Structure 1
Amino acid sequence: MPSINFQDKSGSVVTALKLDPSAEGSLDGLTFTVKDNIDIAGHRTSYGSPAWREAHLPPMENAVCVDQLLAEGARCVGKVVADEFTYSLDGESQFFGTPRNAKAPDRIPGGSSSGSASSVGHGIANFSICTDSGGSIRVPASLCGLWGMRPSLHRLSEAGVLPFMPSVSTVGVLADSLAHLAMPMKVLLRSGRLKPAEVERLLVLTDALGVADPEVQDQANAKLEEISRRTGIPVHSVSFSEITENAYELRDCNLKALRDLQTLEFQNTVGNWIETVKPELGFTFSMAYGNVQSFNRQEALKSLEHCERLFAAINAYLTPGSVICFPTTPVIAPKKGTLNTMDAVMDFYDRTMTITAFSGVARLPEISAPLLAANGCPVGLSFAAAHYEDEFLINAVKQLLA
Structure 2
Amino acid sequence: MPIDTRFDPSGSLVERLDLPPLGTGPLDGLTFTVKDNIDLAGYRTSYGSPAWRDTHPAPVHNALCVDQLLAAGGRCVGKAVADEFTYSLDGENPFFGTPRNARAPERVPGGSSSGSAASVANGLADFSIGTDSGGSIRVPASLCGVWGMRPSLHRISEAGVLPFMPGVSTVGILSAQRGFLDAAARVLLRSGEKPVASPKRLLLLSDMLEVADAAVADQVHAALEQISRHCGLVAEPVRFSQLIGEDLPLSYCNFEALRDLQTAEFQSTLGNWIETANPELGYVFSMAYGNVRQFDRIARLDSLTRCERLFEKINAGLPEGTVVCFPTTPVIAPLKGSLNNLDAVLDFYDRTMIATAFSGVGRLPEISAPLLTVEGCPVGLSFAAAHYQDEFLLSAVGEMLAA
TM-score by length of 2: 0.98
Aligned-pair CA distance for 1:198: 1.0
**Alignment partners' CA distance in 2, 1:155 and 1:211:** 30
Match of 2:330 in 1: 330
User: Does residue 1:217 correspond to 2:217, yes or no?
Assistant: yes
| 1:344-387: CA deviation from partner (whole Å, max 9, x where unpaired) | 00000000000000000000000000000000000000000000
3-state DSSP class of the match of 1:353?
helix
Shift of 1:209: 1.0
Q: Which runs of 5+ in 1 are unaligned?
A: none
Check the 8 A contact 1:6/1:13 in 2, yes or no. no
Partners of 1:295 and 1:336 in 2: CA distance: 29
Q: SS at 1:392's partner residue?
A: helix
- Mark the CA change 1:254 to 1:218 in structure 2 (over 3 Å): closer, same or farther: same
Query: In the alignment, residue 175 of structure 2 is paired with which amino acid?
Result: A
Residue 128 (structure 2) aligns with: 128
SS of equivalent residue, structure 1 residue 78:
strand
1:76 aligns with 2:76: yes
Conserved? CA contact 2:91–2:114, under 8 Å: yes
Letter in 2 for 1:72: A
Aligned to 1:92: 92
Shift in Å at residue 302 of structure 1? 1.2
- Contact 2:327/2:382, CA 8 A, preserved across alignment: yes
Alignment correspondent of 2:257: 257
SS of equivalent to 2:148? strand
How do 1:173-322 residues align onto structure 2 when only pairs under 5 Å count?
A: 173-322=173-322
In the other structure, the counterpart of 1:349 is 349
List per-residue Cα deviations over 1:229-278 (Å, max 9, x = no partner). 22111211100111122242100110011111111000000000000000
The answer to whether the 8 A contact 1:197-1:399 is kept is: no
Equivalent positions of 1:29-44 (< 5 A) are 29-44=29-44
Question: What is the alpha-carbon root mean square deviation over aligned residues?
Answer: 1.1
Instruction: Tell me the SS of whatever aligns to 2:183.
Output: helix
Cα distance in structure 1, aligned partners of 2:200 and 2:157: 30
8 A contact 2:370–2:378 mirrored in 1: yes
Alignment of 1:102 onto 2:108: no
Instruction: Give per-residue Cα distances to partners, 1:305-357, cap 9 Å, x unaligned.
Output: 11011100100000000000000000000110000110000000000000000
Q: Deviations over 1:31-75 (max 9, x none)?
A: 000000000000000000000000000000000000000000000
CA contact (8 A) 1:254 1:357 kept: yes
Give yes or no for contact 1:32–1:74 (8 Å, CA) kept in 2: yes
Whether the 8 Å contact between 2:198 and 2:396 is mirrored in structure 1 is yes
Partner of 2:376: 376
Aligned equivalents of 1:56, 1:115: Cα separation in 2: 22
1:118 counterpart residue number: 118
CA contact (8 A) 1:11 1:100 kept: yes
The secondary structure found in structure 1 opposite 2:42 is: coil
Please tell me whether the aligned partners of residues 149 and 173 of structure 2 are also in contact (alpha carbons under 8 angstroms): yes
Is 32-41 or 5-14 further displaced after alignment? Answer: 5-14
> Alpha carbons of 1:303 and 1:358: their partners in 2 closer, same or farther (altered >3 Å)?
same
1:7, CA displacement in angstroms? 4.9
Structure 2 unaligned segments of length 5 or more: list them: none
